[in-house]
């Protein structure tokens, strides 16, 4: 048996009328919400777990609030992972509006979006009334059930979105500021101006002026010891160190050059240079001496925020050979030591020593811009930048940043900074725990309160065994 063909359960005109009435009701009694599709940037290759997403597109659509009397929820729960707010939101949207006005745009413009024909679990809804972003957990596509032989609406069941490492950049401030204020951030305190280092030296006769490398040796695994024969009685012994380099692209080292840490004084003949240790052999060097050469260079100020060794300028003697030196920079951007490459000759007065400036940085960072530490090569994504306080909040760090290194924005290359295009500043301090402004995971606060109740430092509060 079949249904009576002379009686229909609806025709296209009647279905059109129902859809128009629903659309009109949604316009009159609904509210505007923003629908934000989830785009997958990275997925696990084994179980297809979603590892990284972005939300950069948004679409306004009318929605009727089913739970008009208040949020549906199971209460705020305290579990082993902290406090969780379980407010739920039920919204009804027009199937026609979504399929005719949103789906075609997503299909044409969002390459990595999967299943554009209908709303999808995991996409986001921005609810302006309480300035909150919700995640779609379930979509009921058969409500109301086949009126006149057709479905007209989608019912979206939503919960507050818990931020992780998603990229959220819709260019709508009211939406994007939710992202800035939620989740765990690493906070970098930056500086645009470094302090210039300063140094002073003395002048002496019979100093080791320069050490000449005759043979660089081979098969070294570490820097060998450079021994300089003693100065005559009444003189000062010179010291030097070997600077190494790899060869043939392997892990073996040879001596690149030998630099002086203390030129000594009182030598009447060139001292003997002996290179020992380091696991290799074959390195040979000789030394020359001079009168009126510089002595040890002592740092008067260590400077700050040097991202690379500064240029050292030593004033000339007038008649003679101008001394030269190079600096070593520590992890914090300060000068750690000065190495003399040539002690010079003919100095009758203490020379002036000057260092190049660490520079002045300017520019700004933008939301979701990728920044890189130029020494550590650590990358991260910008969440918030305050130009006045020079505080940069970042997330998704690939490693650990170093104090004193430059944080360079993605619009600036590390080898060619291009100051002014984007931010480029020096790190003064790093807070890896940041301002954990997360309404859904207050573990740290709970732990702090618990520490005041139970003291494990004196004894086990639960018993001796």
DSSP letter (8 states) at residue 95: H
Q: What is the pLDDT of residues 365-387, one digit of tens each?
A: 888 888 998 888 899 888 888 88
State the Cα–Cα distance between residues 90 and 220, nearest whole angstrom.
70
Q: What is the pLDDT of residues 176-198, one digit of tens each?
A: 777 776 666 788 988 877 788 99
Q: What is the pLDDT of residue 413?
A: 45
Residue pair 157/125 in contact by the 8 Å Cβ criterion: no
pTM: 0.53
Which residues are CB-contacts of 464 (< 8 A; sequence separation ≥ 6)?
none
For β-strands 132-143 and 298-301, DSSP reports them as unpaired
- Asked if the model's pLDDT at residue 420 lies above 70, the reply is no
Q: Among 93-107, 125-139, 332-346, 433-447, whose mean pLDDT is lowest?
A: 433-447
State the Cα–Cα distance between residues 115 and 113, nearest whole angstrom.
7
Residue 73: strand, helix, or coil: coil
User: Could you identify the residue written with the tokens 């100093």?
Assistant: 207
Number of C-beta neighbours around residue 190 at 10 A? 22
State the Cα–Cα distance between residues 394 and 373, nearest whole angstrom.
12
Q: What is the mean pLDDT of residues 271-276?
A: 96
Residue pair 297/340 in contact by the 8 Å Cβ criterion: yes
Helices marked H in 134-214 — which ranges?
173-181
Mean pLDDT for the chain overall:
82
pLDDT-based confidence at 432, cuts 50/70/90? confident
User: Could you identify the residue written with the tokens 């659509």?
Assistant: 61
Q: What is the pLDDT of residue 43?
A: 67
Residue pair 275/283 in contact by the 8 Å Cβ criterion: yes
Q: What is the mean pLDDT of residues 120-135?
A: 89
The CA-based angle 98-100-101, given to 5 degrees, is: 70
Half-sphere exposure of residue 85: CA atoms within 13 angstroms, side-chain side: 16
Distances (CA, A) of 266 to 158, 186, 204, 231, 238: 84, 55, 8, 6, 10
Report the DSSP beta bridge partners of residue 33. Answer: 61
């Amino acid at each position: 048996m079949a249904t009576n063909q002379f009686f229909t359960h609806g025709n296209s005109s009647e279905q059109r009328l129902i859809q128009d009435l629903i659309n009109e009701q949604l316009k009159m009694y609904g509210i505007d919400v923003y629908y934000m599709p989830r785009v997958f940037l990275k997925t696990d290759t084994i179980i297809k777990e979603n590892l990284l997403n972005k939300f950069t597109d948004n679409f306004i659509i009318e929605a009727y609030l089913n739970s008009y009397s208040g949020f549906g929820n199971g209460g705020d729960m305290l579990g082993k992972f902290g406090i969780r707010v379980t407010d739920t939101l039920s919204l009804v949207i027009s199937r026609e509006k979504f399929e005719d006005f949103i789906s075609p745009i997503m299909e044409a413009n969002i390459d990595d979006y999967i299943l554009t024909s209908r709303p999808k679990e995991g996409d986001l809804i921005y609810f302006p009334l309480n300035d909150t972003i919700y995640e779609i957990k379930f979509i009921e596509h058969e409500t109301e059930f086949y009126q006149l032989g057709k479905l007209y609406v989608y019912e979206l069941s939503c919960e507050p979105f818990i931020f992780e490492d998603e990229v959220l950049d819709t260019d709508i401030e009211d939406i994007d500021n939710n992202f800035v204020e939620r989740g765990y951030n690493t906070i970098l305190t930056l500086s645009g101006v470094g302090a210039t280092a300063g140094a002073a030296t003395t002048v002496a006769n019979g100093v080791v002026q320069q050490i000449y490398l005759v043979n660089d040796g081979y098969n070294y695994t570490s820097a060998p010891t450079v021994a300089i024969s003693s100065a005559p009685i009444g003189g000062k012994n010179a010291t030097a160190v070997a600077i190494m380099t790899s060869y043939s692209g392997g892990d073996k080292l040879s001596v690149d050059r030998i630099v002086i840490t203390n030129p000594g004084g009182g030598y009447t003949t060139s001292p003997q240079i002996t290179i020992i240790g380091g696991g290799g052999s074959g390195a040979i060097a000789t030394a020359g001496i001079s009168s009126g050469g510089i002595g040890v260079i002592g740092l008067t100020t260590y400077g700050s925020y040097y991202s690379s060794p500064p240029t050292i300028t030593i004033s000339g003697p007038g008649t003679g050979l101008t001394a030269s030196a190079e600096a070593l920079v520590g992890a914090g951007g300060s000068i750690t030591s000065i190495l003399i490459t040539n002690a010079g000759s003919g100095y009758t007065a203490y020379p002036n020593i000057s260092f190049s400036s660490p520079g002045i940085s300017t520019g700004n960072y933008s939301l979701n811009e990728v920044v890189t530490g130029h020494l550590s090569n650590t990358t991260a994504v910008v969440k918030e930048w305050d130009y006045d306080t020079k505080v940069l909040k970042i997330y998704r760090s690939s490693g650990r940043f170093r104090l004193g290194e430059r944080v360079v924005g993605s619009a600036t290359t590390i080898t060619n900074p291009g100051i002014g295009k984007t931010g480029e500043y020096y790190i003064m301090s790093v807070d890896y725990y940041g301002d954990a402004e997360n309404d859904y995971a207050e573990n740290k606060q709970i732990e702090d309160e618990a520490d005041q109740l139970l003291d494990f430092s004196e004894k086990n509060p639960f018993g001796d065994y």
